[in-house]
Amino acid sequence: MKTQVGIIGGGPSGLMLSQLLDLQGIDNVVLEKHSREYVLGRIRAGVLEHGFADLMREAQCGERMDKEGEIHHGFYIAHGGGKDRIDLHGHTGGNSVVVYGQTELTRDLYEAREKMGGKVIHNVDDVKPHNITTDAPSLTYRQGDEVKCIDCDYVIGADGFHGVSRKTIPSDKIREYEKLYPFGWLGVLSRTKPVSPELVYAKHERGFALCSMRSQVLSRYYIQVPLTDTVEDWSDDAFWAELKRRLPADLADALETGPSIEKSIAPLRSFVAEPMRYGNMFLAGDAAHIVPPTGARGLNSAASDIYYLYHAMVDHYKKGDDTGLENYSKTALARIWKAQRFSWWMTTLLHKFPDNIPYDDKLQQTDLEYLLSSEAALTSLAENYVGLPF
Ligand code: RFL
Ligand code: PHB
């Protein structure tokens, strides 16, 4: 098989790029390790910045998001038994975020690919990029006993943090920056009414908690847990009891509980791989960078990579202009590091750090008090949360 762009990974990054390129007549193939059902079963992001929402519309995939997604003009920070509202709209001159689940937008992208006859190949094993530093790269993969090959002009590594593409880059050609946090998030999805119309990020002596949602009948809650905890350690009752302890009394009293329909633990990590290009392979999304989910930046950072790559590919194929491809890594990383800084800062502001000395806790409290008393600091928070320009 021959194509112009070979994409490894059928998550949101790979599918979005595939759809945008196809709309411009640029031939591409997506190779996905898992089944569509498996990919759609992963409960992840819930908050989309407006730039991401615009990209969904450009990909002609925004119809259901615009109908069913909820526009949020603000969120709350709960602390010391009360809560303060962060007015995103007011502090950014009218910007907001869209609450629409990653599962739903991935489903929309899959359906759009199907409608256009896009080539998305599922359940592939042993995907390997070859001849990446030459003008004739290729991808091999296995389906059952059969090994197949795709010749392409470019390879896109959109295969997430544990994917194969970043790992094929020789270690002296890539530098990895990583920070691990001494806790994870235990997440629960339940068919209950969200406790608050807007998200609540809660700082508490017992640990961080987050009240989020997917719709008016589907809630998503998280609590900070030690890395040694497992999902089996947390019955639904224990989860709800701990969440209530970390929320202000009015929210704890109003919290509707019910059986969990999904429960998982995600470790928190900050990670960046530089550069995001090796020969004719470009890394995008979680394959190149990870943030702790506190600032809701992960998927949104993937979106800016895709935006830059898409425009660079169009310039290459339509105008013979390679400036975008040559500058991709530098341009993408400039925005990525800002999302890294913001996610690290919001994580540091709101979590309980087990190894903190009392001095660190005082600084953390002061950081929060300063934020809530300063229009400049609130503006900075709001500007980062709704998403910096692409
Ligand atoms: P994905 O989604 O990991 O998709 C990669 C795909 O590649 C496939 N794959 C392979 N395919 C072929 N060959 C191989 N060798 C392969 N290895 C892997 C995988 O099966 C998969 O389908 O990466 P992508 O597309 O870059 O998308 C990134 C986002 O998924 C991620 O950044 C967000 O989910 C992060 N995130 C959030 N981001 C936000 O912007 N807003 C949020 O509110 C938000 N909340 C979250 C989050 C992530 C979370 N977890 C679990 C880490 C909340 C949580 C709890
Ligand atoms: C979510 O709804 O899953 C979610 C929302 C906001 C975050 C992280 C996760 O910061």
Task: Give the tens place of pLDDT for each residue, 323-382.
Answer: 999 999 999 999 999 999 999 999 999 999 999 999 999 999 999 999 999 999 999 999
List the domain boundaries for the chain.
5-72+95-178+269-349, 181-268+352-386
Rg (CA), the chain: 21
Q: Looking at the predicted structure, is the pLDDT value of residue 135 above 90?
A: yes
pLDDT of residue 42: 87
pLDDT of residue 68: 95
Indicate the top mutation candidate among 70, 186, 199, 215 to test ligand 2's pocket, ranked by most ligand atoms within 8 A of CB: 199
d(CA 45, ligand 2 centre) in Å = 6
Mean pLDDT of 252-266: 97
Which is nearest to 158 in space by CA: 296, 279, 309?
A: 309
State the closest ligand 2 atom to the C-alpha of 201, by its place in the atom list counted from 1: 10
Which ligand gives the minimal distance to the CA of 265? 1
CA distances from 241 to 195, 245, 308 (A): 14, 6, 45
Peptide bond into 275 cis (omega under 30): yes
Element (H, E) at 277: strand 277-278
36-61 confidence digits (pLDDT tens): 999 998 888 899 998 999 999 999 99
Q: Is the pTM of this model over 0.85?
A: yes
Which ligand gives the minimal distance to the CA of 347? 2
Percent of the chain residues past pLDDT 90, beyond the cut: 98
Q: Ligand 2 atom 5: the closest Cα is on which residue?
A: 46
Query: 300-325: buried (b, 16+ CB within 10 Å) or exposed (e) per residue?
Result: bbbbbbbbbbbbbbbebbeeeeeebb
- Binding-site residues, ligand 2, Cβ < 6 A: 45-47, 199, 212, 220, 293-294, 296
10-29 confidence digits (pLDDT tens): 999 999 999 999 999 999 99
pLDDT of residue 39: 93
Q: Does ligand 1 lie within 6 Å of residue 305's CB atom? A: no
Topology of domain 5-72+95-178+269-349, per CATH?
FAD/NAD(P)-binding domain (3.50.50)
The CATH number of 181-268+352-386, from 3.30.540.10, 3.30.9.10, 3.40.50.2300, 3.40.50.10790, is 3.30.9.10
Two domains, one topology: 5-72+95-178+269-349 and 181-268+352-386: no
What sign results for the dihedral spanned by CA atoms 105, 110, 113, 119? positive
The neighbouring-strand residues paired with 358 are none
